[in-house]
Structure 1
Amino acid sequence: MSARAHADSLTWAEHGTALFTTQVARLDEQTMSQPCALPGWTRKHLVAHVAANADALGNLVHWARTGECTPMYTSAEQRNADIESGAHRSATELTEWLNTSIQKLGVAMDALTGEQWRTDVVTAQGRTVPATEIPWLRAREVCVHAVDLGTGTTFADLPGDFLAALITDIRGKRGLGTVPGGPLPEVAAYLAGRPHSLAEVPGLGPWL
């Protein structure tokens, strides 16, 4: 786990949330139904995913607050089904779900005590982490997917300290000994498996 500060993760999650929701608010039924930057997904799929992720992380916050084991998702199949179902909602319904899920997650995180933040929870990937990891998980989702919406936001629009933390995180998860040189946004995009301008670098599989 990186040495990033809990307070920084909260700030990045807030920044990414504002970036994501501002773009979604500009989408109408037609533009939200168009493909996003992720293969096989429309923007509706992506908005449904980000809304469902807020609900899922809310389960981890509940776990931290009560000690009751509440996994993010009941199963990978259910997670995928919820996204597919959400993608068939109207743009208005999806935006309402997104905003409601964001508000609920924010209120729940604000209510956690210092001791509760130190409670161990288990991510959807099966990693046992302290609840202080939850804001970082959310920051990754909203920041990276703000780019994936394909409405003009790029990795260069994300905070530099967030990009540095993201590079450290992905490098560890991919088991990379070194990373290529280049502008921070381009290196982050490359490691995240997104379009980039780096030359002569090996291809990487999908991430997030």
Structure 2
Amino acid sequence: MSLTETDIAAREALKERLGKGARFDAPNAPTEDLLLARRGTAYFARKLMELSDDDLYAPSAISGLTRAHIIVRVSYEARYQALALEALDKGEALELPEELPSLDLAATLPARALRHLFQHSEVHLNVCWRDLSEAQWDAALTLADGTLTTPRALPLMRAKGIWQGALDLGNGARRADVPKALAL
């Protein structure tokens, strides 16, 4: 997937409308991967909003997991990436907060809390991406599971996870909707 002239023109128009005080991705950020992740996030959000509160606790497309489990998993993945990026920005080692409940426990949250968890984690990660400097995009980064990578790899990782999460909700997401670049 590559940026079209329309995408580029829309981005430039947005920058002009928002003015000098707005913050944007670094010039060397992986633009196409960020676009895949952001469009996947919008798609997941749409599928999530199509679900009634009761539907959140119904079975997902993954045997043994409810849709709430999928929402929590997708949200925690974003949260862990954001925490790793924050640690990188501060020059510290990644320390995971102890207050994050297990997947099974978090899947019992009330519907409103599940929706807020997703929304907050999405905003948190997007802000961390936007605030990375040019040099930080290629800095060494340790993820929550101990994997060594760079921030540049995260948007594609997120794109794959969020699009797969939309399919896993099991409420009408179609493989045909997933960008071919992701090959899920």
Give the TM-score normalised by structure 1: 0.69
8 Å CA contact 2:94, 2:144 repeated in 1 = no
Secondary structure at the aligned position of 1:103 is classed as helix
Shift of 1:111: 0.6
Question: After the TM superposition, which of the residue ranges 116-125 and 34-43 deviates more from structure 2?
Answer: 116-125
Structure possessing the higher relative contact order (Cα contacts under 8 Å, 6 or more residues apart): 2
Match of 1:37 among 48, 61, 86: 61
Q: Secondary structure at the match of 2:94?
A: coil
Instruction: Look up the SS of the partner of 1:52 in the other structure.
Output: helix
The one-letter code of the counterpart of 2:123 is Q
Between the aligned partners of 2:156 and 2:145, the Cα distance in structure 1 is 15
Which ranges of 4 or more aligned residues in structure 1 deviate by more than 4 Å? none
Equivalents in 1 of 2:112, 2:50: separation in Å? 11
1:47 to partner: Cα distance: 0.5
Return the alpha-carbon distance in structure 1 between the equivalents of residues 145 and 120 of structure 2: 25
What is residue 109 of structure 1 aligned with on the other side?
A: 129
In the alignment, structure 1 segments of 5+ residues that lack a partner are 164-187, 189-208
Q: 2:48 aligns with which of 24, 27, 42?
A: 24
Alignment of 1:164-183 (within 5 A): none
Equivalent of 1:130 in 136, 139, 150: 150
Matching residue within 51, 55, 58 for 2:79? 55
Q: Contact 1:52–1:82 (CA<8 Å) still a contact in 2?
A: no
Structure 2 distance, partners of 1:120, 1:63, is: 11
8 Å contact kept, 2:84–2:144: no
Partner of 2:141: 121
Q: 2:39 aligns with which of 2, 10, 15?
A: 15
Structure 1 position 74, deviation (Å): 6.7
Q: What letter is aligned with 1:16?
A: G
Structure 1 position 146 matched with structure 2 position 166:
yes
**One-letter amino acid of the counterpart of residue 31, structure 1:** D
What residue ranges of structure 2 are gaps of 5+ in the alignment?
1-28
Cα distance between partner residues in 1 of 2:70 and 2:141: 25
Structure 2 matches for 1:70-81, cutoff 5 A? 70=94, 73=96, 81=101
The two structures have a TM-score, normalised by structure 2, of 0.78
Residues 56-105 of structure 1 show CA distances to partners (whole Å, capped at 9, x for unaligned) of: 1111111221221115x579xx97x5211211111111001110111111
> For residues 150-165 of structure 1, what are the structure 2 equivalents within 5 Å?
150-163=170-183
